[in-house]
Amino acid sequence: MRRPAGRALLFLAFLAIVGFLFLAWIRTPGRPDRPTPPPEPVPRNRIRIGALERPAALPVWALGRLLQGRGLRLEILGFEDPGRMWEMLAAGELDLVLTTLDEFALAVPRHDPGVLLFPSARSLGSDAVLAHPDLQGTEGLQGRSVAYVEGSAGGYLVLALLATHPGVHFQTVAARNPEQAAEWLRKGDVQAAALWEPWTSALKAEGFQGVWSSKDQGILEVWIASRQVMQGRGAGMEGLEALAGAWFGLIDRLRTNPGLATNAIAEEARQDPALIHQTLRLGLEFLSLEEARRVSPEALVQAMQAMRNDWALQGAFLPPAAPRNVEASKTVDTTLLETLVLPEKDPLSAPPEPPSPPLEAPTEPVPVLAPPTGSPGPPEAPPPPEEPPEPPAQVPEEGPGAPPASQAPEPGIGAPSPGSPPEAPGEASPP
C-alpha cells in the first residue's frame, strides 16, 4: 500500500518553516543584559546574628544593651531551618551565627559557611532523648522510631546514641522543628524524640523519661563568623572584637549578678524572668574568657573531623548534600581571644534608647525559647534572688566560687565516639 506523499511533504515543509523561524529568533540581537548591581553596602555599626531556639542563645538578647554604648546596633534573626541560616551566613547576609560544634561540622561540607571564632557554652543535660515511660532505657528503643530535628544538635545526639550502643537499632525520623517532634511524641507517632530545653522539661512534666542526654555526649556551643565580616565588610573585625568582649562581660555578669543579667535577658526576649532563670540553670554551663581560651584550636579541629566522619558514615553527605572539599583547619580561628580584654561593666538596668526597629527575617524573629504551644511549661522556679549592689569598677576574671585558671578543669568538647583514637578530640588542651 503506497503512503500518501502529499501529507509527508506538508509535514516536512512545516518543520522547515518552524526551524527557519527558530534560527531567525535566536540570531536576532536582543536587548543587552543589565549589569549586575553591586551588593548594597553594609552599615559599619550593624551586627546581624542568626540563632536557633536553644538555651545557649538566650544571653544574645541582652547584648544589644551592652553594644549600644559602643555605637553598634544588634539585629537578631531567629531560624527554624538550620540550612537557611547557613546559606545566609555563607552569602554574607549574616555576620555571626551561634550554634553547636556538631551542627557546624555538618554545615562545613554542605555550605562552607564561615569560621569558628570561639566556644561559648557546654550543654550538660539541656539536650536529651525523651521516650515513652513504658520503654526501659536505651534498650527499649530497639526497633522503635526516634524523631530529631534535621541539622540540629539533636540529630548528632541520636547519632552518638547509635554509635555508643551498637546492639540497639531504631528508625530515625526527621522533623521540621522541635514543635513537630514533640507533637509526634505526644501522639505516639514516634516512641522517642531528641529535643532541648524548654521542651525537655515540658515533656518530662507530662511523664516522658530521658534515656540519653548531653551529659552522656557533651555538646559544645560555638560562635561562627562569616568570611565577609572577617575581611572587613560591615562591622569588620573591630565589631567582632566588641561583640566578643560584650559577650564574655555578660557571662561574667551572669555569674556575679545573675538577677540583673537574667532580668535584662527576660525584658529583651519578652519572657518571664523565672522561666529564663530556670532554663539557664538546667544542664547548661557558659564558659568564661579564660575557659574559652583553654579550648585549643587543634582540639576543635580534631573534634570536628571526628564528627564529620560520623555524619558521613550515617549518610548525611549523600546527594544532593554533596560534600565540599574544605579543610577543617581553615574553618577555626580563635586568635581573636588572645588579645581580648573584658570591658568595664556596662549598665543593664535600662533598655537601650531608641529601641531597635523591627527586623526583616526569613522566619518570624520570635523570642528564643518561647514555651511550647499547647503544652505545660517547665516546672515553675522561684524568681532569681535579689542581688546586693555591685562593688564599682572591678571585673573579675572568673566568677565567685570558680577555681583559679591554673586549677580549673579544662572545658571538654564532647564524649568521643567508639573507635576514636586514644587522643580523643573531646579533650581540650591548653594553648
> In this structure, which topology does domain 127-213 adopt according to CATH?
D-Maltodextrin-Binding Protein; domain 2 (3.40.190)
pLDDT reading at 419 higher than 50: no
**Region of residue 153 (left: phi > 0; alpha: psi -120 to 50; beta: else):** alpha
pLDDT of residue 70: 86
Name the percent of the chain lying above pLDDT 90: 51
What pLDDT does 79 receive? Answer: 87
Q: What is the mean pLDDT of residues 177-185?
A: 94
What's the 3-state SS for the chain? CCCCHHHHHHHHHHHHHHHHHHHHHHHCCCCCCCCCCCCCCCCCCEEEEEEECCHHHCCHHHHHHHHHCCCCEEEEEEECCHHHHHHHHHCCCCCEEEEEHHHHHHHHHHHCCCEEEEEEEEECCCEEEEECCCCCCHHHHCCCEEEEECCCHHHHHHHHHHHHCCCCCCEEEEECCHHHHHHHHHHCCCCEEEEECCHHHHHHHCCCEEEEECCCCCEEEEEEECHHHHCCCCCHHHHHHHHHHHHHHHHHHHHHCHHHHHHHHHHHHCCCHHHHHHHHCCCEEECCHHHHHCCCHHHHHHHHHHHHHHHHHHCCCCCCCCCCCCCHHHHECCHHHCCCCCCCCCCCCCCCCCCCCCCCCCCCCCCCCCCCCCCCCCCCCCCCCCCCCCCCCCCCCCCCCCCCCCCCCCCCCCCCCCCCCCCCCCCCCCC
Whether residue 101 contacts residue 122, with contact meaning beta carbons closer than 8 Å, is answered with no
**pLDDT tens digits, one per residue of 136-174:** 889 999 999 999 998 889 999 999 999 999 999 999 999
pLDDT of res. 151: 83
Nearest C-alpha neighbor of 324 from the set 93, 113, 91: 113
Q: Is the pLDDT of residue 36 over 60?
A: no
pLDDT at site 277: 87
- C-alpha 217/C-alpha 155 separation (Å) is 12
Comparing 391 with 239, the larger pLDDT belongs to 239
Residue-level pLDDT at 278 = 86
Domain topology for 46-123+219-337: D-Maltodextrin-Binding Protein; domain 2 (3.40.190)
pLDDT at 240: 96
Whether 382 has a pLDDT exceeding 80, the answer reads no
Angle CA 295–154–308, to nearest 5: 55
Indicate the range of 276-280, 323-327, 398-402 predicted with least confidence.
398-402
Which is more confident, 180 or 424?
A: 180
pLDDT of residue 4: 54
Residue 339 has pLDDT above 60, yes or no: yes
Contact 73, 46 (CB under 8 A): yes
Q: What angle do CA 399, 258, 52 make, to 5 degrees?
A: 100
pLDDT value at 55 more than 50? yes
Is the pLDDT score of 325 beyond 70?
yes
Higher pLDDT, 236 or 424: 236
Choice between 377 and 271, residue whose per-residue pLDDT is larger: 271
- Fill in the amino acid letter for 345: K
Nearest-5° angle of CA 170, CA 174, CA 179? Answer: 115
Q: What confidence score (pLDDT) does residue 314 get?
A: 84
For residue 218, the model assigns a pLDDT of 87
Q: Where, residue-wise, is CATH 3.40.190.10 in the chain?
A: 46-123+219-337, 127-213
Digit-coded pLDDT (tens) for 263-280: 999 999 888 999 888 888
| pLDDT tens string 182-200 | 999 999 999 999 999 989 9
Q: What is the CA angle 299-409-163, rounded to 5?
A: 50
- Give dist(CA 278, CA 420) in Å, integer: 35
Average pLDDT estimate for 343-356: 54
Check residue 403 and give its pLDDT: 40
Q: For the residues 45-72, what does the mean pLDDT come to? A: 92
pTM: 0.74
- Residues ≥6 apart with Cβ < 8 Å to 256: 390, 396, 399, 400
pLDDT of residue 342: 78
State the pLDDT at residue 405: 39
Specify the range with the lowest mean pLDDT, choosing from 20-24, 323-327, 340-344: 20-24
Q: What is the mean pLDDT of the chain?
A: 79
pLDDT at residue 34 in the model: 54
Q: What is the pLDDT of residues 78-121, one digit of tens each?
A: 987 788 999 999 999 999 999 999 999 999 998 999 999 999 99
pLDDT tens digit sequence for 222-241: 999 999 999 999 999 999 99
Identify the weakest region by mean pLDDT among 21-30, 112-121, 282-291, 311-320: 21-30
Q: What is the pLDDT of residue 20?
A: 67
